[in-house]
Structure 1
Amino acid sequence: MSSPRSGSRRGRPRAADVPARQTAVLKAALTELQSSGWGGFTMEAVARRAGASKETLYSWFGNRDGLVRALIRRNAESSLETLTAGLESSGSLETVLQQYAYELLTLLTGPASVALNRAAMTSPDLAQALRSEGRHRVGPLVEAFLAEHTRAGRIDCPDPGGAFAVLYGLVVRDTQIEVLLGADPPTDIQRRARADEAITAFLRLYAPRDHPDGE
């Protein structure tokens, strides 16, 4: 007498189910990393939390560092969507930059970013992945935004790359480092106030010059 094939939670997932299962595993991995820290973060612990097999995790991600690189990419994609949406939103230059600064501080001091940064500090390869997927991807978008508003005469940023570095420094300051070292992250009110303060200083530094049609 034959019986229906029953799937095991820890069995090899069907090809159609792989993307959803990988997403579920990455969510479980991030939760594990935030909960246990890098020292307690193991493939076995992630497999147990995700209800998957270690063999499946190794086949998908290679090793623990590969799993963290996948987490970095996933977090970067989410962050990029948030920051890009802010830059493309309607509103005055000041309002858009204030919202960008607020979102940037929120992302960099949030639990996911803190956990991934702490993990990345243990490995040059992970640190490079974090730089490549994070600031190095967002930077060109912000530079293009600043260049566009310079052409419109609203600000004067002849070197958008340098202006972005100044903007980033004004917004982030040492806040992220303090949180990584164990300080409490800024509250929502504090993030909003710091963002507004940073943009006020930035716009003062890059006020339009010789643009009679500037706004």
Structure 2
Amino acid sequence: MIVVFLGPPGAGKGTQAAYISAKRDIPQLSTGDMLRAAIAAGSDVGRQAKAIIDRGDLVSDEIVAGIVSERIDMSDCESGFLLDGFPRTIEQAHMLDRILAGKGRDISCVLELVVDEGALVDRLNSRISEAKARGDEVRSDDNVETFQKRLGVYQEQTAPLVPFYEAKGVLKKIDGMQPVEAVSADIDRILDEC
């Protein structure tokens, strides 16, 4: 089972991805984690990525795709995996299609958490208030301005993946405004059908 997760920042992808990974016993593959692991392992792609990062530049789509390709060849991905944070653009989606086709594999389904963006700001403000009430430090990126920028990037770059995957017949929409347990139950039902 190969699952791609889509949804704007704050939609609950991280919570649900961890749930799916544990329940379905498939690894959750985050591009950031894969990048750090490839660098630590000293693979060819990891060395290329390290050189780029050391210069202060962003890692190209080709390097990210190479890291994803290396990672999904590992034995723990044989029965499937969940991609969280890749693809982020239509070009990356085409790269993923080529990678999977070269390995004789296909995406099982793409899960989109559909949420009200205004409610996401309310969730963010609640999270900040709760952290402060507990005496916890508020994350530096937990502010409305940063969130709005991240949301704008999502709308511009990643949201076009929704019609892309809809046209392929693999997109499944989930009401992300429900309680966490209800979202998880909907995901389980959809994945059972996939």
Q: TM-score higher than 0.5 here?
A: no
Relative to the length of structure 2, the TM-score reads 0.30
The one of the two structures with greater contact order (alpha-carbon pairs below 8 A, sep at least 6) is 2
Higher normalized strand content (fraction of residues): 2
Higher normalized helix content (fraction of residues): 1
Relative to the length of structure 1, the TM-score reads 0.28
Structure with higher Rg: it is 1
